[in-house]
A = this chain, B = another copy of it.
Amino acid sequence: MALINLSTRDLEAFLALAHAHHFTRAAEKCHLSQSAFSQKIARIEQTAGVALFERSTRHVTLTPEGEVFAQEVTRIQQDLQHAVSHLNELATRRIGKVAIAALPSVAAVWMPRVISRYRAANPNIRIELFDTLAEGGFALLREGRVDVFIAAGADVREFDVTELRNEPFHLVCRPSHRFAGKRSVSLAQLKGEEVIHLARSSSVRQHLEAAGATAQPNALEVEHLATVAALVAQGLGVSIVPELALFHFERAGLVCVPVRDRHLRRPIILARRKGKALSVAAKAMVEEILSEARQAKR
């Protein structure tokens, strides 16, 4: 059996003739000269191995084999049309889906504006946002359930990583606190202060310890930043939190003072699966995230 090599144009030509029963009119519909069209049909029949049309100069009709083929080709043609237009819709972001995981602070501070802009530009793309801690976010990314994960820390070899920001930490305290008026503080100055900490599993705590700010034995430890803010507001101590977490404390009427320490910085990274391309929809989302991160740096 001969090698088949039919193009979409061939299928169109075949169906056009099957429908028009007339070479000249079908040729026009295909934007071809009538002669070229005739040759094309002849070639198609040759690869088919059987006459598909019965021609007398007056009438053109499908042979029984042609009718069978026409039915099958009609379906195939539609499927292909559909596949290509589907692709096109994905390419132009008229349909699609993007899933992002982000640390809670990022999800709360950056993502609302990011998603707002993205949605305005791509109203029909479905967006999934997971606000998770480090562990859960990397798991989602590993399983392919999210396109990207906005995390903290840079020692991730499993994924492709882009640094979005390297944020400083702030001391947070009540307005009446002795640090409240300072332009900045150093870790050394905190000696003897009651410091309220997040749980050991949090990225914030891990960065603090890496910078040498170990917790006192009897220090308070809680899970959520909102709780930290409430405890600080109550005067039970101060805390040290990264910039992206400050909104919790500003809301509570507390004061933030930058901590000056070269080592106490938290890199915010955008992690992607290695060797796995982003969808068009996800690429556009990453663009928005990068744009937001650039703005935040200023």
Contacts and interface: CB of A to CB of B under 8 A. Distances in A.
A36 interface: no
Contact of A63 (B49, B50, B277): B277
A86 interface: yes
A279 B64 contact: yes
Nearest to A53: B277
A54 interface: yes
Interface in A272-298: 275-280, 282
A277 B61 CA distance: 8
Name the prevailing secondary structure of the A interface residues. helix
Interface stretch (A67-75, A106-114, A124-132): A67-75
Contacts of A47: 84
Contacts of A275: 54, 56, 59, 61
A4 interface: yes
A9 B5 CA distance: 6
Interface string A245-279: 00000000000000000000000000000011111
A162 to B, nearest CB: 16
